Amino acid sequence: MRPEDLLVPTPQGLYCPPADCHIDPMRPVARALVTHGHADHARPGNDAVMATPETLAIMAARYGEAFCATRQPAPYGVKTTINDVTVSFHPAGHVLGAAQILFEWKGFRAVVSGDYKRQGDPTAAPFEVVPCDLFVTEATFGLPVFRHPDAADEVAKLINSVALFPERAHLVGAYSLGKAQRLMKLLRLRGWDRPIHLHGAMVRVTETYRDLGIDLGETVQVKAADRKELAGAIVLCPPSALRELWARKFPDPVTVAASGWMRVRARARQKGVELPLVVSDHADWDDLRQTILDTGAEEIWVTHGEEDALVHWCGTSGLKARPLRLVGYGDEGETDEPAGEGEGNDRAQARA
Amino acid sequence: MNRFAFLLDRLSYEPRRNAKVRLMADYFRETPDPERGWALAALTGALAFRHAKAGLIRGLITDRADPTLFAMSYDYVGDLAETVALMWPGETRANRAPPLSEIVEGLTSTAKIDLPKRLAQWLDALDETGRWALLKLITGSLRIGASARLAKTAVAALGEDIKPDDVELVWPGLEPPYDALFAWVEGRAERPNAEDPAPFRPPMLAHPLEDANFRAFDPSEFAAEWKWDGIRVQASAGRDAEGRHVARLWSRSGEDVSGAFPDLLDKLTFDGAIDGELLILREGRVQTFNVLQQRLNRKAVTPKLTAEFPAHIRAYDLLFDGDEDLRELPFTERRARLEAFVAREANPRVDLSPLVAFDDWDGLAAARLDPASAGAGADAAAVEGLMVKRRDSPYVVGRPKGLWFKWKHDPMTVDAVLMYAQRGHGRRSSFYSDFTFGVWTEDAEGPRLTPVGKAYFGFTDEELVELDRFVRKNTTNRFGPVREVTHTEAIGLVLEIAFEGIAKSARHKSGVAMRFPRVARIRWDKPPHEADRLESLERLIEEREAAGA
C-alpha cells in the first residue's frame, strides 16, 4: 500500500479515506479529528468532532457549546476503531490538550503531529515519541536560525525588567490560548506572586485552563479605568492589542512580546517590541530534526511553515520528504491573533 | 565585547532618542579607555577593516553549514550578520570572551590568510548577541538606530557645558580610540586642537508645499528657484593650519562623497561653502537624472567616465564666503553674496541656479507646469519642481517650519499588475515587500504582461501585511527567494504605481525604465485586464521628450 491510500491532502485539509474523516479541516466537514484548540486548527461548524477532552472543552469555551453536533472525547493513549482504521491521540506538548494523532491501518502507522514542541511546559502534557512509518510534521520554525532558549530564563528577563522599571507597566503580547497560560505558570514558578493582569480577550480561555486543573494564581481582568494605576504590573494581552489605543493608557508601557519569532531582530522591531522574549510553543530547528529521527519514519510530510528548508534537510539525511503546502495553518503563529475572538483574516481573504 | 554587545542590543530595541543617549553615555562613563573609544569609533562608523568583509563571513558559515540552508535562512532573516550569529553551530564555550579592543586590534593586524581562523575562534567564544555585534562591526553597518551625531551627543553628555556641536568641531582632528576627546569632556585635559578647513555643515531642508496652504502667503515675501533633479551637495573648501588648500564634497546627510567626483573636486579652488545641486552638464545643457544615474552606477571612476559624464555644481546658496559665516543673513542677502561669489570665481564647473520670476501664485503655478517657457528652456527635463523660499529666511539647520518649501511636479501614475514578489531586507525582512509589476502588451499568442519595474515602498505597514498575505496565498511558482503570483486577465492584483520620470532603456526587456516607482494605491477593486498597456507608457516617454526638446 501507499501512504497516499491512508492520508491525502485536500483543500479542506488532510483527509483519511478509509476512516472517512478530515484532520484539522479548514472548512466544515462531516467528521473532523482535531489536534488542538488554536483557531487555525480547530474551527466551528463540523458535524462530528473527535478530540481530547481538553481540546473539546477549549473549543466549547471559544465557540460556544454548539460548535459541533456531536463530540467524541479521545483521552491520550486510548485506541478507537473507525471502519478498519485504529485511531489514537498522544500528547504533542504544544498547548493544553494538544495531540498527535496515530492512524494504524493494515500494519502501516502514520502520525499527524499537528503543532508540537519538545521543550518543557508546566501547562501541557509532555510530547510523546510515537514510532511510525509516515510522520506528518509542522515546520513553523523550520530554519537553522531558530533555536529556542530556555523559556524560564526568558521569563526571568521580564521579571528583571519590572525590577529595573518599576514605574512602567509591562505589556506582554502573547497568544491567548497556551502561550499566555504558560507564561503565567512560568512567572509563578519564578516567584512572581503578585496578581497577573489580563486583557479581556484571554479571560475565558484562562478560566478553562483553571477548570481543567491548571493553577495559575491570582489573575485580574484589566478594566479601562484601572490602566493608569498599573505601574510595575505585568499585563498579558493578545499581540495585536499592543498596537491598539488600549495599550497607550498604561503608565509609560514597556512593549514585550513572547514568541519564537522574537529570535529575529527585524521581526521584533517591525512590531515595535522593546523587550523580546523568545518563548515558543513550537519545536525549534534542532527539535524538529530530532523528532523526525526519533519517530523512525521513512517518509516525512511537511504541512506548513518553513517547509522548504526542512524538506531539504530530510533529503540530505536520506529521508523521503514532501511539502504539503497546506494553506490556512500557521496564521495564528505567523501573523497576529486578533484581539477579539474569531478570525482576523476574513477581510483580506475576501479581498484576495 | 560582551559589554559592547549588550549596549548594541539595548540600543537596537530602544525607540526613544533620549534613552539611547543615556544608554550610550552610561556605557562611556562606566567603560575604561581604550574600550570605550573603540566603541565610539564603531558607533560613529569610523572603523573599517581592510580584510574583514562580508565575503569572509559567508565563507566561514558555508564551511560549517549546508549552503542551501544558509541561503534560505539569510533570505528569511534578511541580515547577514544576524543570520550567521543565529545559526553559528555549537554551544557557546564558557571561556573568556574577547574584549572589544582585542577584536579591533586583531581585525587590523591579523594577516588576511589567518583571519578566518581568528574570527571563528572569537565566534566560538561569544554568545549569540556577542556574535551578532562582532559580525555587525565587520560588515560595517550597525543599523541600531543610533547615528554618529547621537553618539557624539552622548560623549558631550559626559562633560559639563559641552554641547554636541563642540564635539563636532574638534572631531575631524581626532583618531580612534579618542583618549584626548574623553580626557577633555571629563575635564582632565585641554580641548583638543583640531579645526577642519572643509567641514560639513548640516543643510537646511524644505517642507512639501501642499496646493491648499500657500495661497494665504504674500507672494512678494518669497523667492522661487528650480528644484534640479540631481544630488544635493555641499562643496566646502578652505586652508588648513599648514596653508594647504582642502576641498570636500558632502552629501546632504554628511557623507563625504569627494572620492566619487575627482574631476569636480580638483576645480573647487575657492574658500567657502556652497549649497547646490550636483548635475551632469554637456555643452552647457543639464542632463536628466537618468544620465547622472549612469555615472553613479559605475564603481570605478575612470578618466573616460569623467569626460563622458562631467560633474557640475549648480549653486543655490552660500553658507561661508572665506571665513565669514553667512548663515544668519536673510536669503536675499546671501543670494546677492552668492551671485557676486560665482561671478568672481568664474569657475567653469560652478554656476548659479537662476531665480524664477513671478508676480502671484497663479503665475508660479504656471511656471511649475511649464518650466521650459518660464526660463528653464532646454534644461526643463531636469527640473523636478520648484523651491519656494522666504526672502528673509536665515540658513537654519534641519527642517524649520514656514521658511522653505518644495513644490514638486505631480508624479505620473500607471495601473500595473503584480507579477513577482521577493522578501525584503532590514526592517521588512520576512515580509514579501519587493514587488515586480507589469503592464499589458500583445504578441502572436495574445495579451500578456511584461514587467516594467519594481516597487518596494509607498504602502503602509498595514497594507504591507495584506500584500504579504496576498502573495503567500496566490503563489503559483517559486524561484529561490522570488515568488510568482497569479496574474491572469481575470485574477490578480492591480497596483497603482506613482513615479517621477520615465525613459527608454535598453537594459529592460520592456524597453522602459521608471524613476522612483512606488505603490500609490492598492486597487483591490480593479480587475487585472483593466490595467494599463505598454503603449501608454511609450506615449508618456514621447511626450516628455517632446516637452524637454
pLDDT (average), residues B1-15: 90
Asked whether residue B473 is assigned to any structural domain, the reply reads yes
- Show the domains of chain A with their CATH numbers: 3-145+281-351 (3.60.15.10), 151-277 (3.40.50.10890)
DSSP per-residue string spanning B59-73: HHHHHHS-HHHHHHH
- Closest partner residue to A313 (CB to CB) among B69, B76, B431 is B69
pLDDT (average), residues B442-446: 86
pLDDT (average), residues B255-283: 92
Domain match, B435 and B372 both = no
Q: Do B68 and A145 touch (CB under 8 A)?
A: no
Asked whether residue B280 is assigned to any structural domain, the reply reads yes
Highest mean pLDDT among A14-23, B108-117, B357-366: A14-23
The reported pLDDT for the residue numbered A87 is: 98
Domain match, B300 and B416 both = no
Reduced to 3 states, what is the DSSP secondary structure of residue B525?
coil
The reported pLDDT for the residue numbered B294 is: 83
Domain match, B18 and B71 both = yes
Cα(B345)–Cα(B241) distance, integer angstroms: 23
pLDDT one-digit tens code per residue, B310-344: 999 999 999 999 989 999 999 999 999 999 999 99
CATH number for the domain harbouring residue B227 = 3.30.470.30
Q: Is residue B144 pLDDT above 80, yes or no?
A: no
CATH number for the domain harbouring residue B501 = 2.40.50.140
Q: Is residue B145 pLDDT above 50, yes or no?
A: yes
Cβ pair B429, B79 in contact under 8 A: yes
pLDDT one-digit tens code per residue, A174-194: 999 999 999 999 999 999 999
What angle, rounded to 10 degrees, do the helices at A53-63 and A203-211 form? Answer: 150
Going by C-alpha positions, the residue among B475, B101, B48 that lies closest to residue A325 is B475
Using a pLDDT cut of 90, give the percent of chain B over it. 54
Chain B nearest C-alpha distance from A142 (Å):
9
Asked if the C-beta of A17 comes within 8 angstroms of chain B's C-beta atoms, the answer is no
- Closest partner residue to A266 (CB to CB) among B429, B465, B474 is B429
How many CB pairs below 8 Å do chains A and B form together? 85
Helix, strand, coil shares of chain A as percentages rounded to 5? 30, 25, 45
Cα(A217)–Cα(A345) distance, integer angstroms: 33
Q: Which of A214-228, B139-153, B495-509 has the lowest mean pLDDT?
A: B139-153
Cα(B412)–Cα(B520) distance, integer angstroms: 10
Domain match, B220 and B332 both = yes
Cα B280–chain centre separation: 19
DSSP per-residue string spanning B350-396: EEEPPEE--SSHHHHHHHHH-GGGGTTGGGGGGEEEEEEEETT----
Q: Is residue B472 pLDDT above 70, yes or no?
A: yes
Cα(A210)–Cα(A195) distance, integer angstroms: 15
pLDDT (average), residues A306-321: 94
> What's the structural domain count of chain B?
3
The reported pLDDT for the residue numbered A71 is: 97
Mean model confidence pLDDT for chain A:
90
Q: Is residue A347 pLDDT above 50, yes or no?
A: no
pLDDT one-digit tens code per residue, B510-544: 888 888 899 989 988 888 998 999 998 988 888 77
Domain match, B366 and B418 both = no
Which pLDDT band holds residue B429 (cuts at 50, 70, 90)? low
Reduced to 3 states, what is the DSSP secondary structure of residue B322?
coil
pLDDT (average), residues A329-352: 37
Domain match, B311 and B348 both = yes
Domain match, B251 and B373 both = yes
Enumerate the H helices of chain A as residue ranges: 3-6, 53-63, 151-164, 179-189, 203-211, 245-248, 265-270, 285-295, 307-316, 331-334, 346-351
Cβ pair B307, B344 in contact under 8 A: no
Domain match, B57 and B105 both = yes
Domain match, B417 and B518 both = yes
pLDDT one-digit tens code per residue, B96-129: 789 999 999 999 888 889 999 999 999 999 989 9
Mutation site for A-interface testing, chosen from B26, B62, B74, B77 by largest number of A Cβ within 10 Å: B77
- Cis peptide preceding B177, ω within 30 of 0: yes
Q: What 3 state SS string does A69-109 have? A: EEEEECCCCCCEEECCEEEEEEECCCCCCCEEEEEEECCEE
Cα A31–chain centre separation: 22
Mutation site for A-interface testing, chosen from B26, B70, B76 by largest number of A Cβ within 10 Å: B76
The reported pLDDT for the residue numbered A260 is: 94
Asked whether residue B298 is assigned to any structural domain, the reply reads yes
Q: Is residue B191 pLDDT above 70, yes or no?
A: yes
What is the ipTM, given to two decimal places? Answer: 0.89
CATH number for the domain harbouring residue B126 = 1.10.3260.10
Q: How far is CA B152 from CA B179, B198, B257, in A?
A: 14, 19, 22
Cβ pair B257, B249 in contact under 8 A: yes
pLDDT (average), residues B6-35: 92
Mean model confidence pLDDT for chain B:
89
| Domain range for B479 | 412-548
Cell digits of residue B45: 562608523
Which one-letter amino acid corresponds to residue A128?
A: E
Chain B residue closest to A243 (CA)?
A: B462
pTM: predicted TM-score of the whole model, two decimal places: 0.70
- Closest partner residue to A352 (CB to CB) among B76, B426, B474 is B474
CA pseudo-torsion sign B175, B176, B181, B183: negative
Q: Do B78 and A144 touch (CB under 8 A)?
A: no
Which pLDDT band holds residue B148 (cuts at 50, 70, 90)? confident
Q: Is residue B420 pLDDT above 70, yes or no?
A: yes
- Closest partner residue to A274 (CB to CB) among B15, B466, B478 is B15
Which pLDDT band holds residue A337 (cuts at 50, 70, 90)? very low
Cα(A57)–Cα(A34) distance, integer angstroms: 12
Mutation site for A-interface testing, chosen from B13, B135, B423, B431 by largest number of A Cβ within 10 Å: B13
Using a pLDDT cut of 70, give the percent of chain B over it. 96
